[in-house]
Chains A and B, each alone.
Chain A
Amino acid sequence: MASTALGKIRRASHDWDRTRVANIFLQFGLIWAFVLLLIASAIAYPGLLRFANIRNLISQGAPVGIVAAGMTFVIIGGGFDFSVGSIVALAAVVFANRADPVGLWAAAAIVLLCSLVCGVINGVIVTRLKVNPFVATLGTGSMFGGAAYIFSNNAPQLSNDPNFQYLGSKAWFSWPIASWILIVILLGGGFVLARTVYGRSIYAIGGNNEASRLSGLRVDLLRGSTYVISALCAGFGGLILASRLGLGQADMGGTMSLDAIAIVVIGGTSLLGGEGKMWRTAVGLLILSTLTNLFDSLAVATSYQLVVKGAIVVAAVALDLFARSRRT
């Protein structure tokens, strides 16, 4: 008697528990993946966990991490931004070129203004002209990248200001300033996404644009704003990168777009939009940085690293789609 009653209660809560356990595993499986990677890497490269190495790793990852934080907004909103690499390069050359004539602060302001303009251009093309975001940002990426070459006359831009490298190489509380900035941006972005009306609206438009429009959200403005956020983050990332390297060069964008997208999707944020978290981007950054660090320490050539990185992005997206097909 008692056992059947218990059985009934169990059955009632049963499928809920099962899906909850599965969800927790799916959500946090990523952490396990990272821990495993860390252990494996530490075995292959004992220097990995040394304080100096970690500090170096994080300050190296700061620019791309900031870019990825902005990318997270775009991707959750159901979009895609392939132009960030070029914005990074443009920002770096403009910053290095303007630092001496107008001063560091004004140069930084000019950089952010340029980035803002880039973001608005992307947003307008995607929301007003309704160009597919992939094509739109591939195109604008080429435009911005070209602008960086034109502006820099194809030559490295240098600054003589001794404080030019302050952001990129100095430390506060024996921790690189760049990584403090990264942490603030990740936490701030995470808060905006998780707790504000703006953030929740981004999830909504990424999940179902039409339902959001009918609910009274300003869908075009919201969508466009994600490109502005992404561009501003890219500009900021470029500024820090230039400061870290002590110069600005038009080819600095390089694989930045791919890396930023890789970080977001490795973290498990879906390219289909409407889902994702800022902490996932942070973990994605850790994973990618650890991998890069491991490869560098094992002296794997950059060309091989490219192959592996590309494969990881494709695998992460395929895994996401596979998990989805199982869920429904």
Chain B
Amino acid sequence: MIAEVANRPPATPGASGWAIDASDIEVRFGATVALKRVNVQTEPGTIHALVGENGAGKSTFLGVIAGRVVPSGGRVRIFGEPHEFGRPRSAKRLGVTAIYQELTIVPALSAQANVFLGQELALRGLLSESAMRNRFDSLREQLGVAIAPDAVAGRLSVADQQMLEIMRCIQSDARLLLFDEPTTALALPERDALFRIMRQLRDKGATMMFVSHNLEEVLDVADTVTVFRDGGVAAAAPRSQWDKASLVHAMIGHEIDDNGPGPKPRRVRGAAPLIAARGIVVPGAIEGVDIEVHAGEIVGIGGLVGSGRSSLLRSLAGLEPTSRGELIVQGVGAEWPRTPRDALRLGIAMVPENRKTQGLVLGMSSTDNIAMTNYRRVSKAGVLSPQAMESAARRVAKEFGFDERRIATPMRNLSGGNQQKVLLGKWSFRSPVVLLIDEPTRGIDIGAKEEIMATLQRVADSGLGIVMVSSELQEVVAISHRVIVLSEGRAVANLNADEKPIGVQDILAFAFGLN
């Protein structure tokens, strides 16, 4: 039924016309068609969600509306006015503001200066600090956030930085706000705050369009949902006509089993732990946490953003030089790692959170990216062996479900899901004892997520220990044998799936201190 709705736009525009009226939008990148004749309409004063798998075209479409991507065909009217493509300034004049995945904060400036960036309050050409301070305070109150106006923006959490962007949007009197994956960096309470703010803005008449991979939040906050598939609109309908299953169906064309976590694989080996770390301290983040990882075991770290989840992983991986603790690796006492090299030498490898800035050399092929964690395996006397590199890349590609034929393609030309698979394969090529993974499925589509979850279980089954942090708690409970819940830098619970199945609500209860 929904599929039929798809091909014709909803019947009547609102009394004042559409907020966004895009017709026959076509976008090509070289020979690739990213969008083919897409029609989307948005009523003013509503929240419109765009969903779809990676590469379906939803972010590209958002880019067209934002004026960042120039389509090769079609037209867009914003509140009835024609949109001049490729001119973010003219989009801004029409009242369009976009908040991108890559935040546009100037790190060295203060929080307040960032909010008023390009729209400073001034009196006769002189900046009026007091006026800006007052306005900043009232914005803070309105949004219920507690960011100090003089805080250096670059030192704030990603969530707070995003709040600054939203404050900037509100300050600029935007009528149409575009969000690209607004919640990927946010913990639950922050997500809730964001949604509260979005609803608040809608009630004041603002129109919003956002792209998200999280179907629950889409169903939670959107008024209209448009599903993209293969560069076209697969379906568009009001929220009331959707549920999770129908969204997934529209996105990938077939149903997936969504009856919660599947059965857990049993723990393979139980004897001595692969690594045991005690009394881990990271000044300002972690205070005395213990962690043990056994062979074949997946240990999830639960907790809110800011609870020290990432710091814990980073300290084990040698990325927190000021951290300390006691470490026993395979029964032997070891020096606490101070550099990534130290950690890797001990067999502790970390797959970083941000694949683009920390994980991959984007200009290089996946073969090169995989080889670089372990050049020794693919070289003789310092000379690389192209054959060894290729066969290694093929092996890793097969193991992580990445297309073997594309191992020579530069990483920047691969989709997010494929990049993520290479990222995981890259550090596993080091043959570590323990693999630490920060956000294994950030910003990738459902299909790739499931593949990665399955791969992680397989990797653990082969005898590795895995420690994983994810904002998607469902993923944590779906594959973890144990979950350590952190709150304010301390371990508040150590849940064991052998004793009792772990649920998302258990983690949240401990994280929020309800128990």
Contact = CB atoms under 8 A, between A and B. Distances in A.
Given A197-B375, A207-B364, A214 B359 contact: yes
Interface stretch (B224-232, B376-384, B466-474): B376-384
Interface string B381-393: 0111000000000
B372 interface: yes
Nearest to A210: B358
B361 A196 contact: no
A236 interface: no
A203 B368 CA distance: 10
Contacts of B360: 208, 211
Nearest to B29: A328
B361 A208 contact: yes
A63 to B, nearest CB: 29
A212 B372 contact: yes
B430 interface: yes
Interface string B1-44: 00000000000000000000000000000111000000000000
Contact of B359 (A18, A203, A211): A211
A198 interface: yes
Given A214-B350, A215-B426, A216-B373, A198 B382 contact: yes
A274 B361 contact: yes
B368 A215 contact: no
A218 interface: yes
Contacts of A14: 31
Contacts of B449: none
Contacts of B373: 215-216
A294 interface: no
Interface in A201-225: 201, 203-204, 207-208, 210-218
Interface string A186-201: 0000000001111011
B291 interface: no
Contacts of B384: 195-197, 200
B437 to A, nearest CB: 13
Given A18-B31, A195-B384, A200-B371, A207 B362 contact: yes
Contacts of A305: none
Nearest to A216: B344
Given A18-B30, A214-B340, A200 B359 contact: no
B31 A203 contact: no
A216 B31 CA distance: 37
A208 B426 CA distance: 15
A201 B341 CA distance: 14
B357 interface: yes
Contacts of B427: 215
Given A197-B375, A204-B361, A207-B362, A218 B341 contact: yes
A275 interface: yes
B52 interface: no
B278 interface: no
Interface residues of B, number: 32
Interface centre among B30, B360, B361, B362 (most CB of A within 10 A): B361
B372 A15 contact: no
A214 B437 CA distance: 13
B425 interface: no
A210 B361 CA distance: 9
A52 B384 CA distance: 40
Interface string B298-321: 000000000000000000010100
B363 interface: yes
Contacts of A198: 382
A153 B384 CA distance: 48
Contact of A197 (B358, B361, B382, B426): B382
Contacts of B361: 203-204, 207-208, 211-212, 274
B358 A195 contact: no
Contact of A274 (B341, B350, B363, B383): B363
A196 B379 CA distance: 8
A19 interface: yes
Given A196-B383, A214-B350, A204 B364 contact: yes
Contacts of B362: 207-208
Contacts of A15: 30-32
A18 B358 CA distance: 31
A262 B373 CA distance: 34
Contacts of B319: 214
A30 to B, nearest CB: 18
A19 B358 contact: no
Nearest to B374: A216
Interface centre among B340, B368, B371, B372 (most CB of A within 10 A): B372
A73 B363 CA distance: 17
Nearest to B413: A19
Nearest to B359: A211
A196 B382 contact: yes
B352 interface: yes
Interface in A251-295: 274-275
Nearest to B380: A197
Given A207-B364, A216-B340, A201 B359 contact: no
B75 interface: no
B412 interface: yes
Contact of A215 (B372, B382, B412, B413): B372
A259 B332 CA distance: 56
A210 B430 CA distance: 17
A200 B341 contact: no
A275 B363 contact: yes
Contacts of B430: 216
Contacts of B368: 200, 203-204
Given A197-B384, A215-B340, 12 more contacts: A19-B30, A204-B361, A204-B368, A204-B372, A211-B352, A211-B358, A212-B361, A214-B358, A214-B359, A215-B373, A216-B373, A274-B361
Interface of B: 30-32, 317, 319, 340-341, 344, 350, 352, 357-364, 368, 371-373, 375, 379, 382-384, 412-413, 426-427, 430
27 contacts: A15-B31, A18-B31, A19-B31, A196-B379, A196-B384, A197-B375, A200-B368, A200-B371, A201-B372, A204-B364, A204-B368, A207-B364, A208-B357, A208-B361, A208-B362, A211-B357, A211-B359, A211-B360, A214-B317, A214-B340, A214-B350, A214-B352, A215-B426, A216-B340, A274-B361, A275-B363, A328-B412
Q: Which 7 A-B pairs have the closest CB atoms?
A: A207-B361, A15-B31, A216-B344, A197-B375, A208-B361, A18-B31, A215-B373
